[in-house]
Amino acid sequence: MSTLIPISIIVPVYNNAHDLLECVCALKTSGHPDLEIIVVDDASTDDTFSMAMRMGVRLLQLAKNSGHGTARNYGACYAQGDILFFVDADVVVAPGAISRVLRLFGENPDLAAVFGSYDLEPRAKNLVSQFRNLLHHYVHQNGHAEASTFWAGCGAIRRSVFREIGGFDEKRFSWSIPDIELGYRLRQAGYPILLDKALQGTHLKRWVLSSVIHTDVIYRAVPWSRLILESRNAPNDLNLETRQRLSVALVSLAGIFLFLAAFRVELLALSAAALFSMAILNRKLYVFFFRQRGIVFTGAGILLHLLYYLCGGLGYMYAWLEFQLRSTAKRMVRAIERE
């Protein structure tokens, strides 16, 4: 039996009343008559809950701060729509986004999920925020339409599929990459996922260098590397395409050669060669930076991109060593049990 409404929009939020207000206003003024908006307060300690109470949405609250994965699952439990549209509290969807999502599912009955990207105009004007969001936009706009994973910042999934697949993993990935892990399971189960490049939203978050490094290592590189090692699945798409993996390796080599150059100065040439090769691999991105923000931004963006790849390499090395140690320990336990 079909539900009374076609789509439920689920917005997880934690200590972000200001962005939530703009996010919800954009959803409510979308012009679509048949939808419900569910805000899930992840045990905020500021005035987020009281602000949300005045927004005229369905408001849920978790007893303790549990992460986006858990918050999204909680909202999905109460959703009535056939389509679950997840939107981050710091994202303002473009006009027509809701109708576009419904049309895509209506025109493609076999489609399980769809997601989009940030647009070209992030709200925060500082260099790090501009770089971060333009990089995300470029990667998603150049990804495969037949996607290999999922993004819940602005992404929708059929409720029946979401329930069948078990929702977001709350035990291991609620705090980091819950949407990516969900996308892996969707594809392993044979469900098609669409990256719709016209489905976009404005990102409101202000990034600083310390938050980027912390996020890229702790909440991205390490858990994503664990997922890749455990699932033995590294799809050639988005952040894992061959060019990006080669770039991580080249930047890591450049760093190693630079360190060793303190003992053998001629290794500086190898470090420079590795960095030059990385720049050649990423030349289309840097041309994109130049066209969007000019030469000064491009120069700074290249340096931040080096840091991005370095964080990815460090995170992968940590996860790989952890994986090898854990695998060795398991083999030793099995050997002892056989004796």
pLDDT given at position 33: 73
User: pLDDT tier at 5 (50, 70, 90 boundaries)?
Assistant: confident
Nearest residue to 229 (alpha-carbon basis) of 325, 141, 85: 325
Judge whether 3 and 82 are in contact, CB under 8 Å. Answer: yes
User: pLDDT tier at 31 (50, 70, 90 boundaries)?
Assistant: low
pLDDT given at position 239: 82
Judge whether 45 and 22 are in contact, CB under 8 Å. Answer: no
User: pLDDT tier at 191 (50, 70, 90 boundaries)?
Assistant: very high
Residue 115 has pLDDT above 70, yes or no: yes
pLDDT given at position 332: 85
Judge whether 44 and 19 are in contact, CB under 8 Å. Answer: no
- DSSP letter (8 states) at residue 219: I
CA pair distance 180, 173, nearest whole angstrom: 9
Residue 1 has pLDDT above 60, yes or no: no
Residue 2 has pLDDT above 50, yes or no: no
CA pair distance 220, 213, nearest whole angstrom: 10
Judge whether 276 and 299 are in contact, CB under 8 Å. Answer: no
Mean per-residue pLDDT, 175-193: 95
User: pLDDT tier at 228 (50, 70, 90 boundaries)?
Assistant: very high
User: pLDDT tier at 3 (50, 70, 90 boundaries)?
Assistant: very low
Q: What is the pLDDT of residues 133-168, one digit of tens each?
A: 999 999 999 999 999 999 999 999 999 999 999 999
Mean per-residue pLDDT, 82-110: 95
pLDDT given at position 103: 95
pLDDT given at position 297: 98
Task: Output the average pLDDT for the chain.
Answer: 93
Q: Give how far Cα 295 sits from Cα of 164, 208, 300, 301, 302, Å.
A: 49, 21, 9, 10, 11
Greater model confidence, 336 or 90? 90
- DSSP letter (8 states) at residue 262: T
Cα angle 17, 18, 19 (rounded to 5 degrees) comes to 95
Go through the chain and tell me how many residues it has. Answer: 339
CA pair distance 12, 195, nearest whole angstrom: 22
The three-state secondary structure class of 194 is strand
The percentage of residues in the chain with a pLDDT greater than 90, rounded to a whole number, is 88
Judge whether 144 and 195 are in contact, CB under 8 Å. Answer: yes
Please enumerate in sequence order all residues whose Cβ is within 8 A of that of 319, keeping only pairs 6 or more positions apart, or say none: 221, 222, 223, 225, 226, 229
Judge whether 116 and 200 are in contact, CB under 8 Å. Answer: yes
pLDDT given at position 335: 79
pTM for the model: 0.92
The three-state secondary structure class of 182 is helix
pLDDT given at position 4: 60
Mean per-residue pLDDT, 232-258: 90
The three-state secondary structure class of 23 is helix
DSSP structure string for 27-79: HHTS--SSEEEEEEE-S-SSSHHHHHHTTTSEEEE-SS---HHHHHHHHHHH-
Mean per-residue pLDDT, 221-233: 91
Helix (H) or strand (E) holding 260: helix 242-260
Judge whether 251 and 264 are in contact, CB under 8 Å. Answer: no
